[in-house]
Amino acid sequence: MKQVRKGVVLRREDLHVFEVDPALMTRVPQDVTDAEQTRIVRNRWEYLDWMHRHFAHNTLLLSAVTEAPAHGPGQSAH
Amino acid sequence: MATLTVPNPVTDKAIAALEQAIGKEKVLTDVGARVARTRVPAPFPVHRFAEHMPDVVVLPESAEEVSAILRIANQYRVPVVPRAGGTGLADGAVPLHKGILLDIKKMNKILELDLVNRTVTVQPGLNMLKLNEYLAPYGVFYPDDPASYPVSIIGGRIGTSGWSLIGSRYGHTRDLVISLQVVLPTGEIVRLSDGGGAPKVRKASTGYNLKQLFIGTQGTLGVVTEATLELFPKPEAELAAFFGYESFEAAYRSTGALSTSGLGTLAAVILFDERKVEYLRRDDEAYIPLPERIKAVVATALYGVEEEVRAAANRLFKIARETDGEYLGDELSAGDWASRHDRYATPLHGRLPDGTVVPMSWHCEDAAIIYSELPAIKQKWHEITDRYIQKYGIFDNWGMFFYSNNPYKGWGDYLVEIDIGIWEQALNEETWQAWVNLKREITRATLEHQGSISACHGACREGDAEFIPVEMAEGGFELMKRIKRLLDPNNILNPSKNFLHLAYADEEVTP
Amino acid sequence: MSDEIRAAMPEVSGNGHQDVREVESEFVRGHLLQAYGCFSSGHKFCREVCPVYQVTRNEQHTPTAFHANVVAMEKGAARLEEVADNYSYCTLCGGCELRCPNTLFVGDFYRNRTRTVKLVQDMRAAANKAGLGLWPRWQRWVEATMVGKNEPVLDYEQIRPVDPNRVADWAKDLPFEIPRGGENILFVDCEAAYYRTSLPKAVAKILHAAGVPFGLMYEQWCCGGPSLEMGYPDHARYLAEHNVADWKKAGAKRVFVLDPHDYISFVDMYPQFFPEEELPEFVFMIDFVAELLDQGKIQFVKPIEKTVTYHDPCRMNKRLGKWEAPRKILRAIPGLTFIDVDHVTQWAYCSGAGGGFAVEHPDLAKKIADLRIARAKELNVEALVSACPWSERPLTSSGREQQLEVLDLLEMVAEAMGLND
Ligand SMILES: Cc1cc2nc3c(=O)[nH]c(=O)nc-3n(C[C@H](O)[C@H](O)[C@H](O)COP(=O)(O)OP(=O)(O)OC[C@H]3O[C@@H](n4cnc5c(N)ncnc54)[C@H](O)[C@@H]3O)c2cc1C
Ligand code: SF4
Ligand code: SF4
């Protein structure tokens, strides 16, 4: 488990999903399994894609239309 | 003093009359039916739960049934509170005096699609996402897009005069409604359009512009039972671009430059302040990796024909770069934008002063404030909020957004939002009063900076409502009171909202 | 309960009644924090996906209300017996809890999510524990299940038990023998074993043709899931214990499951009753067929000239996130024109058959099925393909009224493999 910044950890490198530092979760149970976590992340991306399609026929990205870089500061392809 | 502190209870006789008028199965008195319609997502005095439970719930299916309900309410002098999606953030649909809760969700039919004249006529109980699913095969689109898009419904959008995320391109609710059918408090059914009575005409000078009068009234002047809406071609292309800045001031200047660019496809400009970015870095996947040097963010979105959007994107990027904006990448831009159509407010964002997570409810302040005043209001609101956090320990400051607020343009005034978490489980009368006082201080600051109390949610609850006479001191509130009394002589419809009990202050008018 | 049934009922704890106030305070204590997780949001993003709300348009049949009731009970504004019946208005499809931002947007970050399905099941159990007697048809259904050891699927009217000795009768006229026991066991769900017998036959033929050795249980009982869903967890456990013992006796390492409802019982409920190491591996047949197809172990040789769309079974799509394999199979069937409705849109679709809903609220369940068929009709297809036998009965009946054929995916696989000739 890697501390990413104050209050945030990276436990699952495979999924690259950030988590709240469990030390802060003393009042709320943490009972989502890894399989469920994977399911949630996948469904989220599917859902966001769905929303794009719902609002427009075509989703354009700034990096494809201008010389803007695809990745912003601190972000990398994963 | 308000005369409506002790309303008439809904008697068995009144209930029997309702059952006779609309059918037993559409009149609900069981506890479950009433609990389900007690609150909206705004902070709620949970320690006084039962006070806000309506006595009876009615589920009408037509204007005639709504009319019958209102006539019975007049006869028995009992309050009627219209409820649409129940997602309003200013308590418009919360019963203040119990009474009859008029739930319009069964009225969700699509009555007519007119592709030639580009209108769709609907009942008010329909949700926009569902409407757009229906419209998609025809290539048309109804662009009223609040962050509650998948759940709020058209009657409530009209009741609040809502703000749409893409309103700077397509207009907001009031610009998208062509005409209305309304049941007046006394039961008459009327049809009103923009300056006339023709249902599909968008602009006329024939009569008073009565349509606008019935938009944003929070159900205090009438119940909308039908609406004819504007259709646009479904956008060919969408492009969202988010930029980061090393100071709020830089982002603020950039916001000004972007929003006055004159780009016709520009649908939204949203400024995030330092506290918002800090908060997102705390628990939003996309923002967590942002380097600390990024202190503020500006989000923009373009919609339209593909060639237009491509050209506008180049101009947008140029302006952002020239005003010290750094592009935050495709993944953050597209992903965050897609989530804004149902911007998640999740209770686990709540943190106590020691950093531990607890479920908190969400207050979303939504003043309308002109561009020049934004930096000053930001400072004041944070100062107020932080003071209460320190003293009570059950609030949390989730930072501020400034959204372009005007139809068909990015400039002008901004919807200014501070998001505050409230630990409801810990509420008691003392902390609830503290919350209302916090709210009052925020409202006062708004008025000091020439702002309006609410851009879209409404000013119907404590902490807002008592300031309406202050904001509308130059005769506006007097006129509101006169209109209210003229249309609702017995003070039946959503009584006490918007401080309108004052309309009856000089005589005994009770429900 | 008829005397005949009463006499045949096994001793299962959980039939006794407890004081309702005690049950209420226990329930509130157990669910309050999660209830605030929803109550304090109150945004209702879950609402328009809910199949029951879609046909009642009544806000009290929503997850928001289910959670608000808990807070109302804590604040003395409601009593358990006043609100319990609302919780029967749910098919346990899981659409709401996935769509909820507390799951979809931050469930991974906090590793805490909305659990409406559990809340509803627990309330049903609490109401039964308090002996409120709200749902006579569920009670009868579970009692008949205890007697027939399988669900009383042949008699929705009277709810009379089935004959447990006939649970494998579907296999009688197959051209090959299926042994009892073994490492690979085919579990045939109650609806399929007694009612839609064409389905287990098709599955047996597929496995046989693929050269996968398999057997049946010595004595297969209901998975127990429906008893849990109707608020009888002890009965569910009683049934589950038998099945686990039967698998042990058989030496089962892998259980092939042809029904989504059984599958979710095995992967969701059984691990709550038994340690993981006592359980075999559960393989969902659709996944397995997709795998066999990938490995070239089965071939589609016979075209099916039809235009179809697909119904995502709720438990697969909404509760377990399985939506790809069935689409892959449909795209591989020669001759077939497949008009897909994506799985996210289908978070709002349901057949109405799940969670005991059709037993207690048959009229509303029919409305949900009618709506599902009407949505398929809009696509101008000839058939709606499902992968869940429970959905197929109501959908077939609504389909008959609206002139739309309803097909089963595994039966189509057998057909395309040429196994019906
Ligand atoms: C997560 C979230 C994000 C949000 N984002 C936005 C946003 O971006 N923009 C925005 O504008 N709002 C937003 N809101 C607030 C809310 O969604 C809007 O105010 C919406 O317009 C309310 O609609 P509703 O259907 O829920 O109405 P309700 O809350 O049920 O009612 C709102 C008001 O309208 C009245 N009313 C209801 N029906 C009728 C009728 N038929 N005739 C007359 N009056 C009626 C009610 O009495 C009440 O006063 C958000 C809310 C949430 C929870
Ligand atoms: S279940 Fe989720 S989406 Fe629905 S009201 Fe509760 S918190 Fe909101
Ligand atoms: S599980 Fe399905 S039926 Fe039950 S409340 Fe959720 S969406 Fe509705």
Residue in A closest to C323 by C-alpha = A43
Residue nearest to atom 5 of ligand 2 (CA): C44
Residue B28: its chain C contacts at CB < 8 A? 58, 60
In this predicted structure, the answer to whether residue B3 has a pLDDT above a threshold of 50 is no
CB C387 within 8 A of CB C409: yes
The pLDDT value recorded for residue B6 is 55
- Separation in Å, CA C300 to CA B213, C287, C384, C411: 65, 16, 20, 13
Interface of B with A in 264-323 (CB under 8 A): 281-283, 285, 288-291, 294, 303, 306, 309-310, 313-314, 317
**3-class state of residue B231 by DSSP:** coil
Question: What does the pLDDT average to over B454-462?
Answer: 96
The pLDDT value recorded for residue B343 is 77
DSSP H helices, C192-298, are: 198-209, 225-229, 233-250, 260-264, 270-273, 285-294
**3-class state of residue B169 by DSSP:** helix
- The verdict on C165 touching B (C-beta cutoff 8 Å) is no
Q: How remote is the CA of residue B289 from the centroid of ligand 2, in Å?
A: 28
CATH 2.60.120.620, domain B110-233, yes or no: no
- Separation in Å, CA B380 to CA B28, B124, B345, B375, B376: 46, 39, 24, 9, 6
- The whole-angstrom distance between C38's CA and the closest CA on chain A is 13
- The verdict on A41 touching C (C-beta cutoff 8 Å) is yes
Q: How far apart are CA C81 and CA A27, in angstroms?
A: 29
In this predicted structure, the answer to whether residue B509 has a pLDDT above a threshold of 50 is no
- Single-letter residue type at B394: I
All partners of chain C with 3 or more CB pairs under 8 angstroms: A, B
- Per residue in B411-452, pLDDT (tens digit) is 999 999 999 999 999 999 999 999 999 999 999 999 999 999
The pLDDT value recorded for residue C3 is 67
Q: How far apart are CA B222 and CA B224, in angstroms?
A: 6
Which of A8, A18, A70 comes nearest B330 by C-beta? A70
A 10 A CB-CB count for C18 gives: 12
Question: What does the pLDDT average to over A15-28?
Answer: 95
A 10 A CB-CB count for C256 gives: 21
Q: How far apart are CA C363 and CA C156, in angstroms?
A: 13
Q: Is the pTM of this model over 0.90?
A: yes
Q: How remote is the CA of residue B13 from the centroid of ligand 2, in Å?
A: 36
Q: How far apart are CA C124 and CA C144, in angstroms?
A: 18
Q: DSSP assignment of C162-191, as one string?
A: P-GGGTTGGGTTSSS---B-SSEEEE--HI
The pLDDT value recorded for residue A77 is 52
**3-class state of residue A73 by DSSP:** coil
Quick one: which H or E segment has residue B81? strand B80-83
Residue nearest to atom 7 of ligand 3 (CA): C50
A74/B234 touch (CB, cutoff 8 Å), yes or no? no
DSSP type of residue A22: G
Q: Which atom of ligand 1 is nearest to the CA of B153?
A: 25
CB B36 within 8 A of CB C64: yes
Residue B339: its chain C contacts at CB < 8 A? 105
- The whole-angstrom distance between A59's CA and the closest CA on chain C is 18
Interface of A with B in 11-40 (CB under 8 A): 17-18, 20, 24-28
- The verdict on B35 touching C (C-beta cutoff 8 Å) is yes
Q: Which atom of ligand 3 is nearest to the CA of C66?
A: 5
What's the number of CA atoms in the CB half-sphere (13 Å) around residue C310? 28
CB C300 within 8 A of CB C416: yes
- The verdict on C320 touching A (C-beta cutoff 8 Å) is yes
User: Across chain A, how many H-helices and E-strands are there?
Assistant: 2, 4
Q: Is the dihedral of CA C16, C18, C23, C26 positive or negative?
A: negative
Beta bridge mates, C215:
C185
Residue numbers of chain C with a pLDDT score lower than 70: 1-6, 13-16
CATH says C165-292 is which class? alpha beta
DSSP type of residue B39: -
Residue B344 banded pLDDT, cuts 50, 70, 90 = confident
Domain boundaries, chain A: 2-64
Q: DSSP assignment of B340-401, as one string?
A: GGG----GGG-B-TTS-B---EEEE--EEEEGGGHHHHHHHHHHHHHHHHHHHSSEEEEEEE
- The verdict on A1 touching B (C-beta cutoff 8 Å) is no
Domain boundaries, chain B: 12-105, 110-233, 237-464
To test the ligand 2 pocket, which listed residue (C34, C38, C39, C59) has its Cβ within 8 A of the most ligand atoms? C38
CB C179 within 8 A of CB C215: yes
- Per residue in B121-144, pLDDT (tens digit) is 999 999 999 999 999 999 999 999
Mean pLDDT taken over chain B: 96
In 3D space, the residue among C118, C92, C52 whose CA is nearest the CA of residue C260 turns out to be C92
Q: Which atom of ligand 2 is nearest to the CA of C44?
A: 5
In 3D space, the residue among B435, B373, B361 whose CA is nearest the CA of residue B398 turns out to be B361
In 3D space, the residue among C301, C16, C353, C7 whose CA is nearest the CA of residue C151 turns out to be C353
According to CATH, the topology of domain B237-464 is Vanillyl-alcohol Oxidase; Chain A, domain 3 (3.40.462)
Does residue C103 line the site of ligand 2, with CB under 6 A?
no
Candidates 3.30.43.10, 3.20.20.70, 3.30.420.40, 3.40.50.2000; correct CATH number of B12-105? Answer: 3.30.43.10
In the numeric block, which tokens belong to residue C410?
A: 């595994």
Quick one: which H or E segment has residue C34? helix C20-39
Q: Where in chain C is the domain with CATH 3.40.50.1860?
A: 165-292, 301-416
**Tally of residues, chain A:** 78
A 10 A CB-CB count for B391 gives: 11
In the numeric block, which tokens belong to residue C95?
A: 């659409």
Residue B136: its chain A contacts at CB < 8 A? 54
Residue in C closest to A24 by C-alpha = C110
To test the ligand 1 pocket, which listed residue (B83, B105, B349) has its Cβ within 8 A of the most ligand atoms? B83
C-alpha of B135 from chain center: 24
Phi, psi of C402 (to 5 degrees): -100, 10
CB B446 within 8 A of CB B396: no
Does residue B495 line the site of ligand 1, with CB under 6 A?
no
In 3D space, the residue among C85, C70, C69, C60 whose CA is nearest the CA of residue C26 turns out to be C70
In the numeric block, which tokens belong to residue B198?
A: 């023709």
CB B199 within 8 A of CB B211: no
Q: How far apart are CA B331 and CA A75, in angstroms?
A: 9
Residue B289: its chain A contacts at CB < 8 A? 4, 74-75
**Tally of residues, chain B:** 511
Closest ligand, as measured to the CA of C44: 2
Residue nearest to atom 4 of ligand 3 (CA): C90
Q: C301-416 — its CATH code?
A: 3.40.50.1860
Q: How far apart are CA C315 and CA C112, in angstroms?
A: 20
Residue B4 banded pLDDT, cuts 50, 70, 90 = very low
Residue nearest to atom 6 of ligand 3 (CA): C96
Residue in A closest to C322 by C-alpha = A39
Residue B346 banded pLDDT, cuts 50, 70, 90 = confident
B306/A58 touch (CB, cutoff 8 Å), yes or no? yes
Q: Is the dihedral of CA C41, C46, C47, C51 positive or negative?
A: negative
In 3D space, the residue among C402, C415, C334 whose CA is nearest the CA of residue C369 turns out to be C402
Q: How far apart are CA B429 and CA B235, in angstroms?
A: 49
- The verdict on B336 touching C (C-beta cutoff 8 Å) is no
- The whole-angstrom distance between A69's CA and the closest CA on chain C is 26
Residue in A closest to C345 by C-alpha = A50
Residue in A closest to B286 by C-alpha = A75
Q: Which atom of ligand 1 is nearest to the CA of B345?
A: 1
**3-class state of residue B29 by DSSP:** coil
CB C186 within 8 A of CB C200: yes
A56/B238 touch (CB, cutoff 8 Å), yes or no? yes
The pLDDT value recorded for residue C35 is 97
Q: How far apart are CA C154 and CA B284, in angstroms?
A: 52
CB C262 within 8 A of CB C320: no
Angle at Cα C167 formed by Cα C163 and Cα C168, nearest 5°? 140
- The verdict on A78 touching B (C-beta cutoff 8 Å) is no
Q: How far apart are CA C300 and CA C178, in angstroms?
A: 24
CB C328 within 8 A of CB C290: yes
In the numeric block, which tokens belong to residue B430?
A: 């003392």
Question: What does the pLDDT average to over A5-18?
Answer: 92
| Dihedral over alpha carbons B351, B354, B356, B362 (to 10 degrees) | -10
- The whole-angstrom distance between B450's CA and the closest CA on chain C is 31
CB B257 within 8 A of CB B315: no
In the numeric block, which tokens belong to residue C181?
A: 């026991």
Contacts of B481 (CB under 8 A, 6+ apart): B500, B502, B503
B151/C36 touch (CB, cutoff 8 Å), yes or no? no
- Separation in Å, CA C140 to CA B177, C18, C136: 53, 20, 6
Q: How remote is the CA of residue C62 from the centroid of ligand 3, in Å?
A: 7
